[in-house]
Amino acid sequence: MASERAVRGRLQRAGQEHLLRFCAELAPGPRAALLAELAELEPDALREHCRRAAAASARAPGPPPFPAARLRPLPPECVGSASRADPETRRRWEDEGFRQIALNKVAVLLLAGGQGTRLGVTYPKGMYRVGLPSQKTLYQLQAERIRRVEQLASERHGSPCTVPWYIMTSEFTLGPTAEFFKEHNFFRLDPANVVMFEQRLLPAVSFDGRVILERKDKVAMAPDGNGGLYQALADHQVLEDMARRGVELVHVYCVDNILVRLPDPVFLGFCVLQGADCGAKVVGKACPEEPVGVVCQVDGVPQVVEYSEISPQTASQRAPDGGLLYNAGNICNHFFTRGFLQTICREFEPLLEPHVAVKKVPYVDEEGNLVKPLKPNGIKMEKFVFDVFPFAKNFVAFEVPREEEFSPLKNADSAARDTPTTARRALLAQHYRWALRAGAHFLDVHGAQLPELPGLPETEDPPAICEISPLVSYSGEGLEMYLHEREFQSPLILDVDQARALLLQGS
């Protein structure tokens, strides 16, 4: 057990002795827990962490926008487009992606260590139900997409294949996620192919560089951002596990995009055929002011430029075709080769600069009272997964249609965007479009045909409820045999059993 004297010495070295100010009054259990937590903090790293946080808060509200002369859009030869490519090219990408999947060379990696504070739930976001008729959670949708892609790749290439699922969690999400997967029998995936690992935490720091105590016996800790991935890969020898399985290509994604295609053969095939070591899926920005990061070049090097780092004038600049010049919105959906990840972990991870997030951090005041601050009082330092783009030798971007691939769940329903309601509508609108495209007809209660999708899917419900299990169709493929020239009333829940029944009816 860590002795108070030893811990005090380490904290003095880091300039953080105040963390022991309630130690003497604690009962033995909480006291031991606090000392154990503090003993984990390496003094020199802690001193540097606090120095950086204080320096960053002095520079607040953040770095000024980049001068326009330093920015350039990505060169066209590095950008592919799912919707603008001709069908033959698209098919080539997809074939290549499926080939790699069938060769067992592809893994998916989920970033699920976030605390989901804006959504405001006390459990991991992946366990959230947005209110689909099937009541599926985000984790279940993702698991079923993996199973479907494995099935499609196996059918095409005539041999069974596996897409291992790596899940990065944090202290906040590991326990409940592991429990949830067990309770749901790993959604019928082989547990040996679901690998959970934990990212590190960092202390939250006040504006004057002092680590915050959340309780008398507990430091305020937060996950080190989704860019904590690289440290976590090294901590848990995840790349070695990939190497043992023969995985060469990794599709990394966020937990909260309900439309995420994983693994996406088209994206993977494009990246492989371009010889890329690192790639990002992007969507066209909705408007110049949309608060998303933009993938572009800074001084000739690929990077994500945050919306605060680009001036309104530059953000509104137009390309010759009339679209926005800086249009490539980052959706946290990335391609990496294992070799690239290895280079990052071995050489570049220490060079990644943490970003500063100014937050309201609950704390205990000098008198020992718990305080929930009403305005931001602390700093959390986070690395971002895309911070590694500048180290790529061959970086590519791949543009996909937003309505097909991106609808993030960030906020509670009281917000205007990125809520459970907008996520549910985006998925149901997509499935309604797929069904119509496959030749289904939807009728109202009087037997009259319902229309195609009016207006924006985010603001209106589709005319009929249609939910298609990912186990039946992953991206709208293969639906004609169930739906063509058939009439349905809302709701149509096309799961595996219903699909089987429709086939039987048709034969």
Task: Write out the residues near ligand UTP by the rule CB under 6 A.
Answer: 111-118, 125, 168, 170, 199, 223-226, 228, 254-256, 332, 410
Q: Give which of 287, 295, 227 is closest to 417, Cα–Cα.
A: 287
Separation between Cα atoms, residue 428 and residue 137, nearest integer Å = 14
Q: How far is the CB of 442 from ligand UTP (least distance, A)?
A: 34
Quick one: 115 or 151, whose CB is closer to ligand UTP?
115
Question: Is-contact 221 250, C-beta < 8 A?
Answer: no
Question: Is the Cβ of residue 119 or residue 436 nearer to ligand UTP in the bound state?
Answer: 119
| C-beta closer to ligand UTP: residue 318 or 360 | 360
Task: Give CA separation, 356 vs 180, 315, 381, 433, in Å.
Answer: 32, 23, 5, 41
Taking the complex as a whole, the smallest distance from the CB of residue 44 to ligand UTP amounts, in Å, to 23
**Two tokens at 101?**
């999947």
CB of 262 to ligand UTP, least distance (A): 12
Nearer to ligand UTP (CB atom), residue 261 or residue 410: 410
Name, in order, each residue with C-beta under 8 angstroms of 235's C-beta and a sequence gap of 6 or more.
Answer: 197, 198, 200
CB closer to ligand UTP, 164 vs 227 = 227
Q: Give the phi and the psi of residue 175 in degrees, each rounded to 5.
A: -55, -55
Shortest approach of ligand UTP to residue 124 CB, angstroms? Answer: 8
Q: How many CA atoms lie within 13 A of 295 on its CB side?
A: 30
CB of 169 to ligand UTP, least distance (A): 8
- Of the pair 256, 349, the CB lying nearest ligand UTP is at 256
Dihedral of CA 151/154/160/161: which sign?
A: negative
Would you list the DSSP string of 402-457? HHHH--B--S-TTSSSSSHHHHHHHHHHHHHHHHHHTTEEEE-TTSPBP-S--S-T
Least Cβ distance, residue 228 to ligand UTP (angstroms): 6
Contact present, 154 and 162 (Cβ < 8 Å): no
Nearer to ligand UTP, 180 or 432 (CB): 180
Task: Give the C-alpha distances (Å, rounded to integers) separating 494 from 99, 445, 469, 479, 499.
Answer: 28, 19, 6, 10, 6
Task: For ligand UTP, give the closer residue by CB, 111 or 271.
Answer: 111
Minimal distance in Å, beta carbon 380 to ligand UTP?
Answer: 9
Q: Give the CB-nearest residue to ligand UTP.
A: 114
| Least distance between ligand UTP and beta carbon 334 (Å) | 12
Tell the smallest beta-carbon distance from residue 129 to ligand UTP (Å). Answer: 16
**Count of residues in the chain:** 507
Smallest separation (angstroms) from ligand UTP to the CB of 332:
6
Q: Based on CB atoms, which residue is closest to ligand UTP, 254 or 328?
A: 254
Considering the complex, state which of residue 324 and residue 400 has its C-beta at the smaller distance from ligand UTP: 400
214, two tokens:
């959340």
Q: How far apart are CA 114 and CA 171, in angstroms?
A: 10
Q: Virtual CA dihedral for 425, 431, 433, 437, nearest 10 degrees? A: 180
Least Å from the CB of residue 409 to ligand UTP: 9
N-to-C CA span, the chain? 71
Q: What are phi and psi of 203, to 5 degrees?
A: -70, 145
Q: Which is nearer to ligand UTP, 112 or 468 (CB)?
A: 112
C-alpha to C-alpha distance for 91 and 84, rounded to whole angstroms: 13
Residue 217 or 224 with smaller CB distance to ligand UTP: 224
User: The tokens of 221 are what?
Assistant: 């800790």
Cβ contacts of 322 within 8 Å, gap of 6 or more = none
Sign of CA dihedral 179, 472, 261, 234: positive
Quote the Cα angle for 92-96-102, to 5°.
145
**Residue 34 Cα to chain centre, angstroms:** 32
Minimum CB–partner distance for residue 172 and ligand UTP (Å): 9
Compare residues 111 and 494 and give the one whose CB is closer to ligand UTP: 111
In the complex, the smallest distance separating the C-beta of residue 147 from ligand UTP, rounded to whole angstroms, is: 21
